A and B are shown apart, each in its own frame.
Chain A
Amino acid sequence: MSISKDLVAASATPMILAILAEGESYGYAITRRVRELSGGQMEWTDGMLYPVLHRLERQGLIKSVERISETGRKRRYYHIQSRGKTALDKQQSQWMLVHSVLNQLWESKPCLT
């Protein structure tokens, strides 16, 4: 099942913030985590993640540092900031609300059989 572009775009921010709330991470690991959690069904064009990360950093929600990774190559690690945690809480309640509305609508559908 492929998810529409609009939905991918809308959900990218809360997903990134939620993954970073678990601990520091980097671009490639974030895309892998999303792929894993969606059972491989949610495919991002990997490169598109970075502009989103950079925007979140500019908004002060996350912060990045460059370090030498265990592979011996330079890598940019991202951390969530306190403003990011607040933003994540807000996003979470919004998504839960949308989720609950849709759930009720679909559950109340009369059974046709």
Chain B
Amino acid sequence: MFDLNQQMAQWRQSLGQSESLVRSDLDELESHLRDQIDQLTLSGLSSEEAFWIAQRRIGNAKNLPCEFAKVNGSAVFRRRLQWMLVGIMAYLLIIVLSHLASVAGTLAAFGAGFHGYSAGWIGQGAQILVTLTGLALVIAALKSPGIARLAGSVGGGLFLGLFVIVASILLIAARFLIPILTVRLVSVEEYGQSVLIQNASMLVYSVLIPILVVTLLLQLRSPAATTNPVDA
């Protein structure tokens, strides 16, 4: 059975994925679509037939956003800025979490009986693992439209920001406490050796993060822009 309201909601959702249409645009287009459907049903079409014709006449999800983007420029830019800020939050979160992994990994390695440098390298391993997982999660999130919409919202940014603050406080606490705990387990010299290895962590970011950025840039290569029928 054809459900007009359900089809309408779907149509609205597919158009709404574009960043250039704001809610009032969608309201106006929906009102147009419904007027057209009323007219077509009056002339004897079923609501299903009327819906398909009206939808065809109003234009598709590929061309319309392009036209609206020209008049909604500032809204488009606001959304992009929002994404950049969410990106910064995600970046900070990955860095803080991977640092936490590094100190925790080193401590665990000492606990398991490893010595100076090797414990440091185990910490580094944990750090790389967490960074890679974080980056993989970011890519996966961007590929899933639901999560991307959530992350791209203001609420998503605030949530991530809160996470960064909590994780940073944990990290600061860990950096105070872990040396104290470690020197009880092992000698100061061994602890010093593990800290030396931790300096290599900069390498993790200067290699892994650019790889992520390049991967994303390659994925974002857009198809050629479509031309515009009505614009004066």
Contact = CB atoms under 8 A, between A and B. Distances in A.
Contacts of B70: 51, 55
B228 interface: yes
A47 B35 contact: no
B64 interface: yes
Interface string A21-48: 0000011100110000000000011111
A75 interface: yes
Chain A interface main SS type: helix
Given A10-B232, A55-B71, A48 B31 contact: no
A81 interface: no
B231 A51 contact: yes
A71 B35 contact: yes
Q: Size band of the B side of the interface?
A: 20 to 34
Given A44-B230, A48-B230, A58 B71 contact: yes
B24 to A, nearest CB: 8
Interface in B44-102: 57-59, 63-64, 67-68, 70-72
Contacts of A26: 31
A75 B231 CA distance: 23
- Chain A contact residues (Cβ within 8 angstroms of B): what range? 20 to 34
A80 B32 CA distance: 20
Contact of B63 (A11, A28, A45, A76): A45
A48 B35 contact: no
Given A47-B67, A71-B35, A71-B38, A12 B28 contact: no
B58 to A, nearest CB: 4
B28 A76 contact: yes
Interface of B: 24-25, 27-29, 31-32, 34-36, 38-39, 57-59, 63-64, 67-68, 70-72, 227-232
B172 to A, nearest CB: 49
A50 B68 contact: yes
A9 B68 CA distance: 15
A45 B229 contact: yes
A8 B71 contact: no
Given A12-B231, A48-B63, A54-B25, 13 more contacts: A5-B227, A9-B228, A10-B232, A45-B63, A45-B230, A47-B32, A50-B32, A51-B68, A51-B231, A55-B70, A73-B31, A73-B34, A75-B35
Contacts of A71: 34-35, 38
Nearest to A32: B39
B231 A9 contact: yes
Nearest to A57: B71
24 contacts: A5-B229, A9-B229, A12-B232, A28-B32, A28-B36, A32-B39, A44-B229, A44-B230, A45-B229, A46-B57, A47-B32, A47-B59, A47-B63, A48-B229, A48-B230, A50-B32, A51-B68, A51-B231, A58-B71, A69-B31, A71-B34, A74-B27, A76-B24, A76-B28
A13 B57 CA distance: 20
